[in-house]
Every structure is written in structure tokens, then in C-alpha cells.
Amino acid sequence: MTTGLDLLPYQYVVIWIDIIVMLLAVGIQAVALIHCLTQRGPAFQALGTLPKGAWAGILAVLLVLSFLIRGYLLIPMVGIAAGLIYMLDVRPGLKDISDGKGFW
């Protein structure tokens, strides 16, 4: 009779890696989604990137899928990539537009 806790040592490492990746994905996506939702829509058009609704949809769908699909690291990794693209590319452009500094 097994109790469900009869794991091999490497399985504990896999479980911890899954937990860390999921927490990282959820954190990055949540911060990016909150920032996206608090920005004005025309700023995205002035930046020349995807519209606000598209960014919000991408980030929200990946955030929900990261919660629902566990044990399959592809979705959280794609979510991390989308969140980082938003935070490292779109967010600085939005900040420049809102500060009035332009793109230079």
C-alpha cells in the first residue's frame, strides 16, 4: 500500500522547479497585466505596438492557463516570455510617452 508520498529524490526537485516556475510566471504576468490595465489605450497606438486589449487578453489568458495547467511547463514559460516582452519593451515606451519625453 502506498501513501502517495513515495517519491524518488529527483521527483522532489522536479516538483520544486515546477513550483518556482509557476510562481515566477504568475508574478511576472500579474504585474504586467495590472500595469497594462492601468494605462490609457491611445498610448499603445502612439507607441505602435499591439492595442491595449490585445496585450490585456494575451496576459490574462496566459495567467489563467498558468494557474489551470500544472505539470506542463510550456504554458508558464510562454507566459513569462509574454510578460517580460511587455515589461521590457512596451512598458518603457509607455513611460516615455506618458512623461512627454517622446522616443528619443
pLDDT one-digit tens code per residue, 39-77:
999 999 988 999 999 999 999 999 999 888 866 778 888
Residue 93 phi/psi, 5° resolution? Answer: -65, -40
For the ranges 25-34, 63-72, 78-87, the lowest mean pLDDT is seen at 63-72
Residue 86, C-beta contacts closer than 8 angstroms, at least 6 positions apart: 32, 35, 36, 55, 59
DSSP string covering 46-62: HHTSS-HHHHHHHHHHH
Higher pLDDT, 104 or 26: 26
Q: Is the pLDDT of residue 3 over 70?
A: no
- Residue 21: per-residue pLDDT: 86
Hey, what's the torsion of the CAs at 7, 8, 12, 18, to 10 degrees? -90
Model confidence at 104, pLDDT cuts 50, 70, 90, reads: very low
